[in-house]
Structure 1
Amino acid sequence: MPSRRQPTPTHTPPPAPAAPALTRLEVRRLATIETLDLDLPGGFLAFTGETGAGKSIIVDALGLLLGGRGGSDLIRSGTDDLLVTAFFGEQEQSASRRITVQGRSTARLDGEVVAVRELGEWTGERLTIHWQHSAQSLLSPAHQRDLLDRQLPDELAAYIQAYRAWQQATSRLETLRRNERERARQLDLLEFQAKEIGDAAPQAGEEEPLQAELGRLSNLESIAAGAAGALELLSEGEINAAGLIAEAVRSLNSGAKYDETSAQLQTELRTALEAVQAVVGELRSLAEDSAPDPEELERVETRLSLLARLRTKYGPELDDVLEFQARVEQELSALNRDEQDAGTLDAEVERLLQVVRQHGERLGRARAVHAGPLAARLVSVVRELGMPHARMEFQLEPLAEPGPHGLQDVRLVFSANPGEALGSLSEVASGGELSRVMLAISTVLGAGTPAVVFDEVDAGIGGAAALAVAEQLYTLARDRQVLVVTHLAQIAARADHHFKVEKVLQGGRTHTSVRPLSAQERLHEIARMLSGNTSEAALQHAGELLGLSG
C-alpha cells in the first residue's frame, strides 16, 4: 500500500490553513444527537458519512444560530428541549439557542438573552452557510448587484450620498405641498398658544409663594386676633411677661454687685427683655392690621387662577407649561422656515436630481467597465467546477427613475449548458449548480465571513470536476475556515481535517455522533467513499488519492 506522498526537499510547503473562526460546537438533544461536543480547527474541514447518517445535522445546528426556523419537531423525541451553542474566535465568544417542545425559543450571546434576530445578525457576521437547495442570498437581486458593486465602492458611495440628499429634499417638498392647509391651521394654533402663554409670562416656582400669600391675606382676622392675644400676655395685660422679666432684672440688682453668676444671669434677662419688647412691636403691627387689602387679594387670586388655567391646558405642572412653550416656539420657527423654503425648494430638488444623474452615469460607466472582467473570472472558476460550458453575464438595464443604488438594475444571468439561453439563477440553476457558483464567488471575491459552510457542494459532479471543486475549497481555506459536508472522496481527501458522521443504535435508540478521524481511519473512510468497501484495492486507491492531495 503506498504511503502518503512526502514533499521533496525543494518542494515549497503549501500555505498554512486559516485559523479557526468557529472553535467549538456543542449540541444537545437535536434530532438524533443526544450530546455532541466538537472542537473545530482551522482550514478545510470535511464531514462525511454513509447515506442516512445525518451528515447535514451539523449544518442544521449552525443554521439555528443564524436565526433559521426552529420548530419543536427538531427536538429529540422524549426530551423537553434542544440546545445549540457555538464558540467563535480567540476570545471564544458564545452564541446559543434553546428551543422547547412548547415552541419557545431563547437566544443568548455570551450568556445574555437577545432576540433571535439579533443572534442571527451577530452569527451572520462570522459564519455563512451555502445550502444546496437554498442559496437564497445569491438569488437576491440586491446580492447580485453587490457582487459587482464591491469592485467600485467610491462610485457607489458618491451616488448613494447624492441620492439620499435628493430624496430628503424631495420628501420635504412633498410634505410642504401636501400639508399647506394643515400647516396654516397649525400656525394659527401655535401662534395662539404662544401668545396665551407669553402674555401670562409664567415663572418657574411662582405658584408656591402666591399660595402662601393668598393664605395669609385670607386669614388676616385670625392672624390679628392671635397677635392681640400674644400682645396681652407679653406686655399689655395686668400681669405680663415683659413686666415680670423687668421685675426679675431689678431683683438681681443687689446680688449682681457681688456675684458674677447673678450678674451674668441679669445680663441674659435684660437680653430676653429686649427680645420680648422687639416681638411686642411686631405683634402690635399684626394686631392692628386685621383688614385685608381687597386689591392685593384680588391680584393674587387672579394670578393663581390664570396659572391654574395654563396648567390645565398645557400642564399638568407649571414646569410642563414652560416646556410646552419652548416646543411651541421651536415648531413655529420650523413652520416659518418651511414657508420661506417652499419657494426655493423646487429649484433645489431639480439641482440635486441633476447631481444624482451625474453620479449615476459615473457609477453606470464603472459597472460597465468591471462587469465583463468579473463575469469572466467567475466563469473561469465555474467551468473548472464541472460546468465546462457555463456562461455568466452581468446585465445592466436602465431604470425609468433613479433608484437607491443607481440608474440601472443589475442582474447576474447564467447558463450551464450549451445552446441554452442565459436566464436568472433562480430559474435555470439547480441546487448543486448554485452551490458551485457560490463557491466560485467565494473564491474570486472572498466568502465574506471568517467561517463558511458548504452543504453538498459536490452534488451532480465527479472525476476531474470533483478534483477542481476540492482544489477551490482548499484554496479558500487558506484564507478562512471552510466546513464542507460531502459525499465525494476527492473533496474529503483534500481537506486539512476529516470528521466522520455516524449513526448507531444504542439501547434501542438511534444516536448520531461526529468525530475526527485518525490517519488510518481516514484512509478507510476514503476507501469506503470510493468503492463502498475497504478492500485492498480500495485502500490502495484511497492512499493514492490522499497522496495526490498531500
Structure 2
Amino acid sequence: MSQRPPAHLTRLEIRNLATVKALELDLRGGFSAFTGETGAGKSIIVDALGLLLGSRANTDLIRSGENDLLVSGFWGEDALSRKLTHQGRSSARVDGEVVSLRELADVSQSRLTIHWQHSAQSLLSAANQRALLDQLVASDLATYHAAYRAWQDAAGRLERLRTSGRDRARQLDLLRFQVGELAEAALQAGEEEPLQAELVRLSNVEAISSGAAGALELLSDGEVSAAGLIAEALRALNSPARYDEVLAQLQGELGAALDSVQAVAGELRSVAEDRAPDPEALEAVEGRLGLISKLRGKYGPALSDVLAFQVEAERELAALETDEHDAGSLEAEVDTLRARAAQVALSLRAARQQAAAPLAADLLRVIRELGMPHARLEFELRPLAAPGPHGSDDVSIRFTANPGEALGDLAETASGGELSRVMLAISTVLGAGTPSVVFDEVDAGIGGAAALAVAGQLARLADSRQVLVVTHLAQIAARADWHFKVEKDVEAGRTVSRVRLLSGPERLEEIARMLSGNTSEVALSHARELLAAGEKSATDKKKPKPSKTSLPVS
C-alpha cells in the first residue's frame, strides 16, 4: 500500500529568483523561523511560495543575467512548480503535468496559506470581517442564499414584465420569427460538409461519367481489356496447374482478381451510363447550402453557432411566454419569496448572534495572551434597511486594546502591530485552513512582552500544523524548532543569497545579534536565556533532527 504524502511542505527548490542562484531547502513539520540582517533577502522564501500559490509574477524577480526562474515545492513525492521567462510567459506543473495557473493555485491553496507582511490589512474589510463570523454559520448562510436567489430571480422576471409592453411585444415577435425560421429550416449538426461534397459531385457529373467510361473500356469493354487478358492467362494455366501446386494457387488468385475486375467494371458501368446532370438535385443541394449560408450570416459564423442560437432563442421565447401567462400570479409570488427571504434572514441573524459572542471570547482569550491584557473585542450586527446578498445585517469587528477606551471600528482603533496579533489569533482560533501556514513579518510593530507572547502563540499553532515565520525578533526565533539564517555574499562580483540551518553556537550568536546587533557576552547571555526558555516550553515535543545542517545557495 502506498503511503500518503506528508501534509506539510517537505522541500523547496528555487532557481534564479532575485539574488538566489540555486536553493534546495529541506523542511520539517513544526515551527521554522527565517532570520537575517535587513536586506539579506528573507522575503525571497515568501516570494517563492507566493509564486506557487499563483500570485502575479513580475519579470523583475528573475535573477539578473538569467533567462528564467523556477520554483518547485514538494510534499513528499508530490511536486508543484512554476516557471517564469524573461518574455513574461508563465508555466505551471503538478506532478510533472502541465496545468493552468488557476489549477496550480487550486492545488497549492489547499496546502499552504501565506499571511503576507500587510495581509492583516484585509481584516479592515467589512466583507472579510463578516466572512470570519459566517464560517460558523455556513449552513444558515447557504439556506439564506438559496432563498435570496429565488426572490431575486422572480423579481427579475417581474421587472421584465413591467418594462414597456411595446418592447416586450417587439421582443416576442422577433423571437417567434427567429425560432420559426430556424425550426422550418430543420438544421442538422454536421450536414454542411456532406452537402458540399454532393455539390462538387453533381457539378462534375459529365467528367465523372467520362472518366468511368474510359476506365470501363480499359477494364472490360475494349478489344484488348484487363478482364480479357486475365481470362486468357487463366486459360493458359489450366493444363500446367494440374501438375504444380504453386501454379494452381496462382491460378486461383488470378480468378479472384478477375472477379474483382468484373465487379469494379459493373460499378463503373452504372456510373458511366449516368451521363446527364440532374438539375433538380443540383438545385436542391445549392438551395440547401444557400439557406445554411444565409442563416449563418444572421445567427452565427458557423452552423454550430446557429444551432446554439436556436436553443437559446427557444429558451428565451419560452420564458417570455411563461411570464406573460403567469403575469397575474408573478407579483404575488415575488411578495411571497421576499417574505420568505426576510424570514430566513432573521434566522441567519439569530445564528450569527449566537455564534458571535463565543467566537469573540475565543479570539479575545488569545489576543490577551498576545500581550494585550486589557483588549476587548466584539462582533457588531447592524440591521440593513432590506435584505441583501449576505443577509439583513452588516457585520463588523469592534475593538480596543486600551483600558477605559470605547470600542471602535477595527480600522480606527488597532495599530499595525495589534492588527497583526489579531490576525494571528484568528489563525489560531479558526485555523489557517491548510497544513502549512507562512507568516511574513507577523511581528511588525511589537517587542518586549508582546513579542514573547506572539512567539508562544506561534509555537502552539505549530502543534497542529507546519508554521514558517520570517521574523526580525529574537524572541520569536528562539522559540522555533528549526532556525534558518538568510545571508547575502558577493561571489565573482555577483550578489548571492544563502540559507543555512543553524544549531549550537551559530544559533546562539544569531539570537544575540538579533537582540543587540553584536555578540558581546551580555548579548550572548541574554540569548542563552531566551533559548533556554524556549527549550523549556518545548520539552514535550519530540521532533527528529534534519539530516542537513547547512543548506548553501550558490
Q: TM-score, normalised by structure 1?
A: 0.71
Is the Cα contact below 8 Å between 2:513 and 2:519 reproduced in 1?
Answer: yes
Indicate the residue corresponding to 2:321 in structure 1: 336
- The answer on 1:507 being equivalent to 2:473 is no
Q: Secondary structure at the match of 1:452?
A: strand
Q: Match for 1:497 among 482, 487, 497?
A: 482
Q: What's the CA shift for 1:531?
A: 4.2
1:386·1:461 contact (CA, 8 Å) conserved in 2? no
User: SS at 2:24's partner residue?
Assistant: strand
Question: What's the counterpart of residue 98 of structure 1?
Answer: 84
Q: Which amino acid aligns with 1:143?
A: N
Query: Are residue 37 (structure 1) and residue 20 (structure 2) matched?
Result: no
Q: Distance in 2 between matches of 1:161 and 1:130?
A: 32
Summarize the alignment of residues 469-548 of structure 1 with structure 2, pairs less than 5 Å apart.
469-548=454-533
Partner of 1:172: 157
2:3 corresponds to 1:23: no
| Structure 1 residues 169 and 91: CA distance shift in structure 2, 3 A | farther
**How many Å separate the matches in 1 of 2:38 and 2:306?**
75
Q: Per the alignment, in what secondary structure is the counterpart of residue 150 of structure 1?
A: helix
CA–CA separation in structure 1 for the residues paired with 2:473 and 2:186: 85
Task: Kindly name which structure, 1 or 2, has the bigger radius of gyration based on alpha carbons.
Answer: 1
Q: Is the 8 A contact 1:131 1:435 kept in 2?
A: no
State how far apart, in whole Å, the 1-side matches of 2:411 and 2:283 are: 77
Among residues 56, 60, 65, which one is paired with 1:73 in the alignment?
A: 60
1:446 aligns with 2:431: yes
Match of 1:85 among 35, 58, 71: 71
Residue in structure 1 matched with residue 222 of structure 2 by the alignment: none
Tell which deviates more after alignment, 440-449 or 123-132. Answer: 123-132
CA distance in 2, matches of 1:331, 1:450: 48
SS at match of 1:478: coil
Stretches of structure 1 lacking an aligned partner (at least 5 in a row)? 1-17, 220-285, 287-296
* C-alpha distance 97-139 of structure 1, shift in aligned 2 (>3 A): farther
The 8 Å contact of residues 494 and 549 in structure 1, kept in 2 or not, is answered as yes
**Which of 341, 356, 359 in structure 2 is aligned with 1:356?**
341
Cα offset, 1:519, TM superposition: 3.4
- 2:395 maps to which residue? 410
The whole-number CA distance in structure 2 between the counterparts of 1:336 and 1:419 is 65
Q: Which residues in structure 2 correspond to 1:116-515 (within 5 Å)?
A: 116=101, 118-178=103-163, 180-192=165-177, 310-311=291-292, 313-314=294-295, 327=311, 332-515=317-500
User: Would you say the 8 A contact 1:197–1:325 is kept in 2?
Assistant: no
- AA partner of residue 411 (structure 1): S
What amino acid maps onto 2:40 in structure 1?
A
Residue 336 of structure 1: how far off its partner (Å): 2.4
CA distance in 2, matches of 1:207, 1:544: 89
Mark the CA change 1:207 to 1:25 in structure 2 (over 3 Å): closer, same or farther.
closer
1:92-130 CA-to-partner distances (Å, cap 9, x unmatched) read: 231314242x54444444445555455445433322222
Q: Is the 8 A contact 2:79 2:96 kept in 1?
A: no
Residue 119 of structure 2 aligns to a residue in which SS?
A: coil
Pair 306,135 (structure 1): closer, same or farther in 2 beyond 3 Å: same
- Give the AA of the match of 1:355: R
Number of residues of Structure 1 aligned to a counterpart in Structure 2: 461
Is the 2:122–2:128 contact (alpha carbons within 8 Å) kept by the matching residues of 1? yes
CA displacement, residues 222-244 of structure 1 (integer Å, 9 cap, x when unaligned): xxxxxxxxxxxxxxxxxxxxxxx
The alignment-based identity, stated in percent, is 60
Counterpart position of 2:236: none
SS in 1 for 2:433: coil
Kindly state the Cα deviation for residue 301 of structure 1 after the two structures are TM-superposed: 10
**Structure 2 residue corresponding to 1:63, chosen from 50, 62, 74:** 50
Q: Deviations over 1:262-302 (max 9, x none)?
A: xxxxxxxxxxxxxxxxxxxxxxxx9xxxxxxxxxx999999
Please state whether the residue corresponding to 2:10 is helix, strand or coil. strand
Higher mean displacement: 88-97 or 153-162: 88-97
- Provide the rounded CA distance (Å) in 1 between the counterparts of 2:199 and 2:473: 91
User: Against the structure 1 CA distance between its residues 176 and 546, is the aligned structure 2 distance closer, same or farther, given a 3 Å change threshold?
Assistant: same
Q: 1:31 to 1:426 in 2, by over 3 A?
A: farther
Are 1:22 and 1:451, in contact at CA under 8 Å, matched by a contact in 2? yes
Shift of 1:546: 2.4
Query: Structure 1 196/304 Cα, relative in aligned 2: closer, same or farther at 3 Å?
Result: farther
Query: Where does the alignment leave 5 or more consecutive residues of structure 2 unmatched?
Result: 207-272, 536-554
> Does the CA-based 8 Å contact 2:14-2:23 persist in structure 1?
yes
Q: Work out whether residues 30 and 75 of structure 1, in 8 Å CA contact, stay in contact via their aligned partners in 2.
A: yes
Segment drifting more, 342-351 vs 516-525: 516-525
Contact 1:44/1:474 (8 A) holds in 2: yes
Q: Relative to 1, partners in 2 of residues 1:82 and 1:483: Cα closer, same or farther, differing over 3 Å?
A: farther
Letter matched to residue 492 of structure 1: A
Q: 2:220 corresponds to which residue?
A: none
TM-superposed CA distance for 1:400, in Å, is: 1.8
Note the C-alpha offset of 1:364: 0.8
Judged with a 3 Å threshold, the aligned counterparts in structure 2 of structure 1 residues 202 and 532 are, in CA distance, closer, same or farther, namely: closer
Which amino acid is the alignment partner of residue 352 of structure 1?
L
1:465-512 Cα shifts (integer Å, max 9, x gaps):
222211111111111111011222221121111111112222233221
Q: Tell me the distance in 2 between the aligned counterparts of 1:61 and 1:82.
A: 14
Question: How far apart, in 1, do the equivalents of 2:391 and 2:280 lie?
Answer: 69
In 2: Cα distance, 1:362 partner to 1:448 partner: 27
- The whole-number CA distance in structure 1 between the counterparts of 2:386 and 2:305 is 48
Change (3 A) 1:34 1:179: farther
Q: Deviations over 1:166-214 (max 9, x none)?
A: 1222222223333743442243345456666778999999999x999x9
Q: State the Cα distance separating 1:62 from its structure 2 match.
A: 2.1
Give the TM-score normalised by structure 2.
Answer: 0.71
Q: Equivalent residue for 2:256?
A: none
Shift of 1:539: 3.9
